[in-house]
Amino acid sequence: MTRTILAEYLTQLARGLRRRGLVDPLLLEESRGHLEESVEAGKRRGLSEEAAEREAIRRFGPAKVVAASYGRDSFGAWNWILLGVAILMGIGIAYVDSRPHWDDAGVTAGSMLLLSGLLGLLRPERAWLWALALGVWIPLHGITREPSLRALAGGAAILAFPLAGAYTGKLFRWMLARG
């Protein structure tokens, strides 16, 4: 029964990380390292290997909880950069769309769809944030120009494009993680 409990736990942890779109192998290796150190410490205290593995896993936490905590704690510098990029691109798209000579809604919608899809692919755990950061500017401009229910409904329809793109990117990332 050597390392089977630990191996099963790491398999469950990897599955939980993939479900959250966290495909970074360093997360799993870091977890493996901590668990193996804990197992060795337990064995030095006189525990059998199986008992040391069980204790290490109990201390580390359930695989689902650990995977969820990695997803929660991962809003680092890279995400702040992507958020800034999404906001700047969204403002740029809204600016071009607001110009009197611009009359190509398909290009506007397509660019929001593709850019939010790319952001959703890069960081799927925040797909909703990328969609809003990129797509909220055109509806805001429309509502400030003409505050009405019609403008509000139009803004909601416009937000459908970046939301669809971001969640499609998230779906592709999930498919890549499974394959």
Residue 57 pLDDT exceeds 50: yes
Predicted pLDDT of residue 27:
77
Average pLDDT of the chain, as a whole number: 85
Ranges 85-94, 112-121, 148-157: which has the least confidence: 148-157
154 and 87 belong to one structural domain: yes
Predicted pLDDT of residue 89:
94
Place of tokens 């409904």: 153
Q: Which of 72, 94, 127 is the last residue of a domain?
A: 72
Residue 118 pLDDT exceeds 50: yes
**pLDDT tens string 60-79:** 888 888 877 776 655 567 77
Residue 1 pLDDT exceeds 50: no
Evaluate whether 130 touches 86 at the Cβ level (below 8 Å): yes
Evaluate whether 109 touches 156 at the Cβ level (below 8 Å): no
Residue 44 structural domain = 4-72
Predicted pLDDT of residue 7:
86
- 44 burial (CB, 10 Å; 0-12 / 13-18 / 19+) is exposed
89 and 54 belong to one structural domain: no
Evaluate whether 13 touches 63 at the Cβ level (below 8 Å): yes
What is the reported pTM?
0.59
101 and 26 belong to one structural domain: no
Q: Which of 72, 98, 121 is the last residue of a domain?
A: 72
Strand residues in the chain grouped as ranges (E):
none
In the chain, what is the straight-line distance between the N-terminal and C-terminal CA atoms, in Å?
Answer: 29
What confidence tier does 138 reach under pLDDT thresholds 50, 70, 90?
confident
- Percent of the chain as helix, strand, coil, to the nearest 5: 85, 0, 15
Residue 82 pLDDT exceeds 80: yes
Range ranked top by mean pLDDT from 13-22, 83-92, 96-105: 83-92
Evaluate whether 74 touches 22 at the Cβ level (below 8 Å): yes
Residue 53 CB contacts under 8 Å (≥ 6 apart), including other chains: 3, 5, 6, 35, 39, 42
Over residues 100-129, the mean pLDDT reads: 88
103 and 44 belong to one structural domain: no
Total number of domains constituting the chain? 2
Q: Which of 24, 51, 72 is the last residue of a domain?
A: 72
In angstroms, rounded to a whole number, what is the distance separating the alpha carbons of residues 73 and 79? 11
What are the angstrom distances between the C-alpha of 157 and each of 112, 162, 170? 13, 10, 20
Residue 34 pLDDT exceeds 90: no
